[in-house]
A and B are shown apart, each in its own frame.
With several copies, the nearest count.
Chain A
Amino acid sequence: MKDIVPDLRVEQIKRLASSGKRLDGRGLEQFRDIEIQKNVLGSAEGSARIKLGKTDIIVGIKVGMGQPYSNKPDHGMLATSVELKPIAHHSFDQNTTKPMSIEISRVVDRGIRESGMIDLKSLCLESGKKCWMVNLDIMVLDFDGNLIDASTIGSLIALSGTNVPASNFGMGKDFSLPIGDMPVSTTFVKIGEHILIDPTGVEEAVADARLTITTDASGNLRAMQKGLSGALYYEDVTKAIEHSIKTGKDIREIIQRRD
């Protein structure tokens, strides 16, 4: 996403958008194909590989034991990280991608946490002393935009297939991670006048503003994040919310069909 995109390309994207089209043939409100593989790794307690167009990520979950945070003594712990490794794009290197990876992981984490999808209270073993610690690690293998949505979808898939290895720790039988209502994020960019869902790498590179909206099964808002140094108008936001609720439903169906 650090590519220098020539002005001509920007003009082309805008011209296409004016007639409702995009470089890869999609409509402005059309999500890319989502390819899902579940439980792809034997070493992880949960895992998934997700391809969103040419964006390709792998999510691995390790569950261990830890000590609850002092301000949440009755909760288990969830830690989310996104690694934008240099394998995924020629412009990625450890130093420059750090703010980007932190923002993505925090937005993904916020959606999962705020939706109450994981009942963290049920993961406390002894108040203030001992709890289950869920490490959700997202590795980007190939980058073509919209990492927030790819990561969210991958995380939902991986979490919903996660086994808590209680027997390894002498804590009784293994059990499935208790999963509730799932949050689904959809991300938009604004380019010129136009709002495009699920942006590719090139679209993100030329975008003025980005907006992520995370909704729950009831169509309510759970998390939002504006990014990039352009502005949105209120109408842009309400339009995006409307699309997000609609598209979120479709994505949720795909995820759950796979269970």
Chain B
Amino acid sequence: MDNVQLIDDNGKRNDGRGPEDLRPIKIEAGVLNNADGSAYIEWGKNKIIVGVYGPREMHQKHLQKPDRAIVQVNYSMASFSVDERKRPGQGRRELEISKILSEALERSIISNKYPRTSIDVFIEVLEANAGTRCAGLTAASVAMADAGIPMTGLIASCASGKVDGQVVLDLDKLEDNTGDADLPVGYIPLTDEVVLLQMDGHLTPQEFDKAFGLAKNACVEIHQLQRDALTKKYSQDPDEDNGEDQAGEEVVSE
């Protein structure tokens, strides 16, 4: 909304992308030992790690559902994930996002298999650069599959929006702060279901249609990256599970 030019005369965005390009995305499944399932995602400058525990007995009895499992997401920004240090403790924004991600993920599981249980999903944002709820949801869905939880389909998630009056895909932080609109979408390609949808800013109904279509197509692309990550994990020799980045390893011995 300030007078920064976000798309240059050649149609390129501040980081060189075209209007319909995603930032680079890298997904890895099974990155933690203790969690029942886990995933790590790098999405542009976003870095997020997700751990899943469950289905396990729900401690707070009054929240148990007699006929199904519930999903409890804890989405959390690390104090060092943003420019100005974030104070510890869950703020209102984090609570809202935790709620809508819980609801989205609950849709994707076959929940009546595990009555009275909870599936606990911890989304730790280590570095944030706009789009963390979509990146977190994408990684959380992989982590749930990694935990062996029966699902109707993986959720892929991506935002589109409007910048300099133009509909674009996958806003980065500069675009998110100064752009015209943001439209995060969570989508299950296998069932064509929309499980997350938010929007703020200013879109005509026509712009909405276009933006929604962009996001949905991107989700199909992201879905493939999710499958690749899971395939890679499950085709590995289990003993090498945590062998990423062996270069950094050092040994102390007596």
Contact = CB atoms under 8 A, between A and B. Distances in A.
A and B touch in the complex (CB under 8 A): yes
B197 A250 contact: no
Interface stretch (B12-20, B98-106, B219-227, B228-236): B98-106
Given A34-B251, A37-B248, A62-B80, A141 B85 contact: no
A102 B96 contact: yes
Interface stretch (B3-11, B21-29, B200-208): B200-208
A31 to B, nearest CB: 4
Interface string A24-49: 00010111111111001111100100
Given A42-B127, A61-B80, A229 B95 contact: no
Interface of A: 27, 29-37, 40-44, 47, 54, 56, 58, 60-62, 64, 70, 81, 83, 85-90, 96, 98-99, 102-103, 105-106, 110, 114, 135, 137, 139, 141-144, 211, 216, 219-234, 236-238, 241-242, 245-247, 250-251, 254, 257
A255 to B, nearest CB: 9
Given A137-B78, A223-B200, A226-B198, A36 B250 contact: yes
A258 B168 CA distance: 40
Contact of A142 (B32, B100, B102, B104): B32
Interface of B: 32-35, 45, 47, 49-51, 53, 56, 62, 71, 74, 76, 78-85, 88, 92-93, 95-96, 98-100, 102-104, 106-107, 120, 122, 124, 126-129, 183, 188, 191-205, 208-209, 212, 216, 242, 245, 248-254
Contacts of B84: 64, 70
A114 B201 contact: yes
Contact of A99 (B83, B95, B208, B248): B95
A35 B249 contact: yes
Chain B, interface SS category? mixed
B137 to A, nearest CB: 13
Contacts of A98: 95
A144 B100 CA distance: 22
A37 B245 CA distance: 9
Contact of B197 (A29, A37, A226): A226
B45 A42 contact: yes
Contact of B49 (A47, A87, A241): A87
Q: Which residue among A99, A226, A227, A228 has the maximum number of chain B CB atoms within 10 Å of its CB?
A: A226
Contact of A233 (B92, B128, B194): B194
A137 B212 contact: no
A41 B88 contact: no
A162 to B, nearest CB: 11
